[in-house]
Chains A and B, each alone.
Chain A
Amino acid sequence: MKLSKATKKGSATKPRKAFRAPRSRAGHTGTPRETRDARDVWQLRLYVAGQTPRSLLAFANLKKICEEHLHGRYRIEVVDLLKNPTLARGDQILAVPTLVRKLPPPVKKIIGDFTNTERVLVGLNLVPLAESLR
């Protein structure tokens, strides 16, 4: 519990901070790619129900993938449905864990604990992006 709480809080805030700094920097440097990337704010919302091993695993997997493919350009908001059950209706959450890509549009939804990285990349449309980055 203690661990998960720490992870969650950290995860919910840390990436945001980590992201904000590069964006401002990118704005200053003014390189086209970085400008475009900076505008491409990846807003991800992860729905979980309680701090179960599966939700912890899902968060860890997601973070790893994001770090790898969207380093510094993502923000993960974790919603614990046990604490905010009414939020499940808004995004039509049935399965948990569910990840909703709020930005960039269109809204994408993937479910599971993200152990299948390939599917996560496909589901989030990260594959072409990752390739173009390379």
Chain B
Amino acid sequence: MTRPGKPKNAPAARASQASSPVAAPEVLEKVPSGIAGLDTLTNGGLPRGRPTLVCGGPGSGKTLFAVQALVRGALVHGEPGVILAFEDTAEDVAKNFASFGFPIEELIADKKLLVDYVAVERSEIEETGRYDLEGLFVRLESAVRAVGAKRVAIDTLETIFTGFSDEGLLRAEVRRLFRWLKDHGLTTIVTAERGESALTRYGLEEYISDCVILLDQRIADEVATRRLRVVKYRGTSHGTNEYPFLIGEDGISVLPLTALGLAYPVSNERVLTGVKKLDTMLGGSGYYRGSTVLLSGTAGTGKTSVASHFVDASCSRGERVIYVALEEAQSQILRNMRSIGVDLEKWVKQKSLMFHVARPSAAGLEEHLVRIHGLVERHKPAAVVIDPISSFETTGLKLDVRAMSVRLIDYLKGLGITTLLTYLSNPAGTEETQIGISSLIDTWLSVRDLERDGERNRALYVLKSRGMAHSNQVREFVITNRGIDLVDVYIGTEGVLTGSARVARERRDEQDAEDRKRRMHARMQDLAARRQTMQAQIDALKAELAKEERELERVIERDERRETWRAGTRERMRHSRFGNNDSSSKRP
């Protein structure tokens, strides 16, 4: 480390730069910024050992950005830091950011952070000749040395332009300051007020060529959204869009929910849907735990009812659930679901079900996200219902809504939370969501109206269900006062019949069957009757035969008796006549 050359010792200064090992690194090293989500955006963070300019209007979060990067650097990344505060005293800085949970006072006590309040008051200073800002350099260097700083925040450097009048000299000194910071390998965040025509009021962006980040707060549709843009980042690819960011309880987060990519763990466990027949349709055991279920349908198709059944089933299993209601009040949902026999109130009382009721327009998309994020952190649910996710469409640009939905889905999936999203689709019935999240969905149920014969009936399909055998059948969806029932639709020669057409058809079928049965019965009876008649005839004939037989036997018996008698008589006569036996034998 070399001391910075003063302007008059320029050659020496240049020589020291040339020998400095960090003056011209081959590959730009990056250091985690400590701002949630920014590292993803910039593929790694802020340029290591180089200054980064953070500019923005008043209240855009510049100072927070700088302080957060320093505090996180010291806390998480083991990089002590120095904050040159031109606007607040060290006590004020500690106080102002205590609400974000930044332990500034502790860090200062542990010598991991040093806040040097640099007061610039023009009124007190008379300029009597040539001068330079070596005092600032000395202070910075002594501070950096005191804590072994790797990071420096300068908030707001431009203040020196109000304190001194020699702008030419100030510019030279600013240039020298940045060179000095670079030579010392200090990752620096310089904040600056946004100018009217340029990025900064005093054109500081001229001196910082490595990384410039613009913070902005804009109001669209009465909703204020903070946005961040990486204006330039030399030698690296970075997201060029404007990214919404939030100032939440933990400070700034650019993607409030860290981008998880697609490396989340998957579960083979299944969870019942709360509708028995729906379980059957999904291979018999319901949704996969941690999957994302989309329930799309037009107005009044019973999306909330299906969702409530799932909530009820989850809570019955002893799981915790968050119900994000975006269009209905909690009491209204409770009442409506009670009317179909689903009692959600007891789960609310047992604190296993938490309602989060929010109007989509009440806050920016990001804020909604962060609120849901916070709820999930606190409540630790096994399932989340968002009813309906489509209502976000009214609040923002389609792209924003999609980005937000993706992040939300990613986030919940990453935590293994089963997510049920309802989606109000347009009556045209195109099987795609306006916000284009269909491809992220694991199980997609579609509830549709079927209009026929002057009535509307609901039909439920499983549009897709990844990783499980699922029914390809349409089920008629009937809401009763004991909950949802899925009925097999009538599929026959007349096509798919639902509602009263199905009922009529079924009645007719029933009647036909009845008729057939009756006819059969009649025939059987007929047969029985005939059998009886026949039997009777047979019996009569048998009786007659028996009678004849008996008569015949009697005649035979009589004849035999008579014969015997006659023979006896003859014998006796012969004996009486003293005749011989021959005569008797000759007798016919």
- B is a partner of A: yes
- Which of A54, A108, A114: most chain B Cβ within 10 A? A54
**With a CB–CB cut-off of 8 A, which chain A residues contact B120?**
94
Q: Does A120 contact B (CB under 8 A)?
A: yes
Q: Does A128 contact B (CB under 8 A)?
A: no
Interface residues of B in 216-269 (CB under 8 A from A): none
CB distance from B255 to the nearest CB of A (A): 39
Distance in angstroms between the alpha carbons of A97 and B131 in the assembled complex = 6
Of the candidate stretches A14-22, A32-40, A67-75, A83-91, the one touching chain B is: A83-91
Pair A85/B129 contact, Cβ less than 8 Å: no
Q: From B169, which residue of chain A is reached at the shortest CB distance?
A: A95
Pair B128/A113 contact, Cβ less than 8 Å: yes
CB distance from B26 to the nearest CB of A (A): 34
Q: Does A119 contact B (CB under 8 A)?
A: yes
CB distance from A99 to the nearest CB of B (A): 8
Pair B129/A116 contact, Cβ less than 8 Å: yes
Distance in angstroms between the alpha carbons of A123 and B125 in the assembled complex = 8
Of the candidate stretches A5-13, A23-31, A45-53, the one touching chain B is: A45-53
Q: From A119, which residue of chain B is reached at the shortest CB distance?
A: B128
CB distance from A48 to the nearest CB of B (A): 8
Pair B135/A93 contact, Cβ less than 8 Å: yes
0 or 1 for each of B120-161: is its CB under 8 Å from A? (1 = yes): 100011111111111111110110000000000000000010
Distance in angstroms between the alpha carbons of A93 and B127 in the assembled complex = 14
Among the listed A94, A98, A120, A123, which residue makes an inter-chain contact with B160, where contact means beta carbons less than 8 Å apart?
A94
Q: Does A109 contact B (CB under 8 A)?
A: yes
Pair B8/A53 contact, Cβ less than 8 Å: yes
**With a CB–CB cut-off of 8 A, which chain B residues contact A122?**
126
Q: Does A110 contact B (CB under 8 A)?
A: yes
Pair A95/B131 contact, Cβ less than 8 Å: yes
A88/B142 contact (C-beta < 8 A), A81-B134, A96-B132 known: yes
Distance in angstroms between the alpha carbons of A85 and B135 in the assembled complex = 8
Distance in angstroms between the alpha carbons of A23 and B133 in the assembled complex = 37
**With a CB–CB cut-off of 8 A, which chain A residues contact B78?**
none
CB distance from A46 to the nearest CB of B (A): 12
**With a CB–CB cut-off of 8 A, which chain B residues contact A110?**
125-128
Q: Does B6 contact A (CB under 8 A)?
A: yes
Q: Does B118 contact A (CB under 8 A)?
A: yes
**With a CB–CB cut-off of 8 A, which chain B residues contact A97?**
131
Interface residues of B in 1-37 (CB under 8 A from A): 6, 8
Distance in angstroms between the alpha carbons of A114 and B130 in the assembled complex = 8
Pair B8/A52 contact, Cβ less than 8 Å: yes
Contact size range, B: 20 to 34
Among the listed A115, A117, A123, which residue makes an inter-chain contact with B130, where contact means beta carbons less than 8 Å apart?
A115
Q: Does A129 contact B (CB under 8 A)?
A: no
Q: Does A132 contact B (CB under 8 A)?
A: no
Q: Does B164 contact A (CB under 8 A)?
A: yes
Interface residues of B in 340-392 (CB under 8 A from A): none
Distance in angstroms between the alpha carbons of A119 and B125 in the assembled complex = 11
Distance in angstroms between the alpha carbons of A89 and B132 in the assembled complex = 17
Q: From B170, which residue of chain A is reached at the shortest CB distance?
A: A95
Distance in angstroms between the alpha carbons of A94 and B132 in the assembled complex = 8
Q: Does A112 contact B (CB under 8 A)?
A: yes
**With a CB–CB cut-off of 8 A, which chain B residues contact A109?**
124-126
Interface residues of B in 403-440 (CB under 8 A from A): none
Distance in angstroms between the alpha carbons of A108 and B126 in the assembled complex = 9
Among the listed A49, A112, A119, which residue makes an inter-chain contact with B134, where contact means beta carbons less than 8 Å apart?
A49
CB distance from B6 to the nearest CB of A (A): 6
Pair A49/B138 contact, Cβ less than 8 Å: yes
**With a CB–CB cut-off of 8 A, which chain A residues contact B125?**
95, 109-111
CB distance from B518 to the nearest CB of A (A): 108
A96/B131 contact (C-beta < 8 A), A53-B8, A88-B142, A89-B116 known: yes
**With a CB–CB cut-off of 8 A, which chain B residues contact A49?**
134-135, 137-138
**With a CB–CB cut-off of 8 A, which chain B residues contact A95?**
125, 131-136, 164
Distance in angstroms between the alpha carbons of A116 and B126 in the assembled complex = 11
Pair A94/B130 contact, Cβ less than 8 Å: no
Pair B138/A111 contact, Cβ less than 8 Å: no
Among the listed B128, B141, B164, which residue makes an inter-chain contact with A85, where contact means beta carbons less than 8 Å apart?
B141
**With a CB–CB cut-off of 8 A, which chain B residues contact A98?**
131, 135
- Which of A47, A61, A85, A114: most chain B Cβ within 10 A? A85
**With a CB–CB cut-off of 8 A, which chain A residues contact B116?**
89
Distance in angstroms between the alpha carbons of A87 and B452 in the assembled complex = 90
Pair A96/B135 contact, Cβ less than 8 Å: yes
Pair B129/A58 contact, Cβ less than 8 Å: yes
**With a CB–CB cut-off of 8 A, which chain A residues contact B163?**
94
Pair A86/B142 contact, Cβ less than 8 Å: yes
A112/B138 contact (C-beta < 8 A), A52-B6, A92-B119 known: no
Pair A112/B135 contact, Cβ less than 8 Å: no
Q: From A93, which residue of chain B is reached at the shortest CB distance?
A: B135
**With a CB–CB cut-off of 8 A, which chain B residues contact A54?**
8, 130-132
Among the listed A50, A52, A81, A123, which residue makes an inter-chain contact with B128, where contact means beta carbons less than 8 Å apart?
A123
Distance in angstroms between the alpha carbons of A52 and B134 in the assembled complex = 11
Pair B131/A119 contact, Cβ less than 8 Å: no
Pair A47/B135 contact, Cβ less than 8 Å: yes
**With a CB–CB cut-off of 8 A, which chain B residues contact A50?**
134
A81/B119 contact (C-beta < 8 A), A52-B6, A58-B129, A115-B128 known: no
Closest 3 CB pairs of A and B: A123-B126, A85-B142, A112-B129
Question: Which residues in A have some Cβ–Cβ distance to B below 8 Å?
Answer: 47, 49-50, 52-54, 58, 61, 81-82, 85-86, 88-89, 92-98, 108-117, 119-120, 122-123
> 6 pairs across A/B with beta carbons < 8 Å?
A52-B6, A54-B132, A85-B138, A94-B135, A114-B129, A116-B127
